[in-house]
Amino acid sequence: MKKLILSTLAVLAAMGLHAQLLKVESMERVRLPQGVRAEQAILSPDGNSIALSDLDGSLKVVDRRSGTARTISRTGSMMDLAFTADGIVFREASTDGQRRRHVAVKSYRLSDGRTTELVAPSRNLQTVAVGSDGSVLAVESGRMYAAGNAVSAEAVRPVPSIDHGLLYLNYGSTRTAVCPLGTDGMSYLWPSVSPDGNSLLFFAAGYGTYTCSLDGSNLRHLGWLYAPVWYDNSTVVGMRTANNGVVTTEGHIIATAADGSASQTLTEDNLIAVLPSATPGQISFTTTEGEMYIMNVKSIAR
C-alpha cells in the first residue's frame, strides 16, 4: 500500500511539472527588412517597433509599419536595453587609447533618430534600468543614479546588478548583497525583479535558475533555464538549449511557474528558438537562423 501511495505521488508530481501554464493562441514569423537577421530582439510595448542586434553586430530598430530598419549603434548592446515613452535606452561600448573598454548609456529618440548620452563612458557600469516614471537608472561602482543625479532609496523600486559575479540589490542610495547560493566561486547572471517588485529571478552558473524573495529567502529552483525573464508575477519564461560544442543544435522556449512547481514547452522541435522577451499576452523570440517570432499567449488559471 505504501509503494502504491508513493507511486501515485510520483505520477502526480510529474503531471504538475508538465502542466499547461500558458495557452499559445497564435504564432507569427515577423517579416524583417531584407538583409536583416536578428540575433536577439525586443518588441516595443505598442508593438510598432523592434529593437534588435543584427548578426553583423550592430544595434538596429525596425519600424513594423514601414518595414524599414535604422542603425542605432555599431557597438550598442541588447543588455539592459529598454523602450521608453519616446525611444530606446541602450548601452554602447567604446575603447580608449590604452585599449580599455568603457560602456556609456545612451537614449535614441524614435521620432527623429537623435541620440543623447545619459551616462558618460564608464569602466564600472553594472546595470541600467528604466523606472516606472520613465527615469533612467544606472548603477555604477555600486551607486545608483537617475539621469546623472544620485537618487534616494524612496525614489525607485529595487534594481538588481552584478558586480564581480555577485548579486546585489540597489534601493536608491542603499546597496545590499543578495547571494542565496553563497559567494565563494559564484557567478550570478540575468537578475531581474518581478513586476510587483516582490521577487527576484536569477541564473547561477553551475546551478541553474532560481526565484526567491528580495532578501534571498524562499529559494525555489526552476531547473536549467537560460536567459530567464518574467512573464508575470507567477510565471517565468526562458530558453533550454543543447549544443555540439560548436553550434546550438536544439532550442526551446519554456514557461515555468515561479515557484518551480510546473513547466511547459512552448515551441516545436522544428525551430531552434532562443532568447525570449515577454510581456503579458506576448512572447517574442529569435532563432539561430536570425528569424524573429511572436507568440500570442493567454494565462491558464491554476
Give every strand in the sheet of 143-146, ordered side by side: 125-130, 136-140, 143-146, 149-150
In one-letter notation, the amino acid at residue 170 is N
Query: pTM for this structure?
Result: 0.89
- For residues 118 and 77, the answer to whether their CB atoms sit within 8 Å is no
Residue with cell 565563494: 184
CA nearest 88: which of 74, 103, 76, 106?
106
| Phi, psi dihedrals of residue 3, rounded to the nearest 5° | -65, -40
Residue with cell 537560460: 226
Instruction: Tell me the mean pLDDT in the region 6-19.
Output: 42
> What tens digit of pLDDT does each residue of 97-125 get?
999 999 999 999 999 999 999 999 999 99
Q: Tell me, what DSSP letter sits at residue 271?
A: S
**Predicted pLDDT of residue 55:** 93
What average pLDDT does the chain have? 90
Output helix, strand, coil percentages for the chain, rounded to the nearest 5: 5, 55, 40
pLDDT at residue 161 is higher than 50: yes
> What tens digit of pLDDT does each residue of 53-74 get?
999 999 999 999 999 999 999 9
Burial of 29 (0-12, 13-18, 19+ CB in 10 A): exposed
pLDDT band at 15; cut points 50, 70, 90: very low
Instruction: Tell me the mean pLDDT in the region 227-253.
Output: 96
**Predicted pLDDT of residue 146:** 77
Question: For the CA atoms of 258, 260, 263, 266, what is the dihedral angle to 10 degrees?
Answer: 30
- Rounded to 5°, the CA angle 296-298-302 comes to 155
- For residues 43 and 282, the answer to whether their CB atoms sit within 8 Å is yes
pLDDT band at 26; cut points 50, 70, 90: very high
pLDDT band at 9; cut points 50, 70, 90: very low
- Rounded to 5°, the CA angle 127-129-130 comes to 165
Beta strands in 205-270 (DSSP E): 208-213, 220-223, 226-232, 235-243, 248-257, 263-265
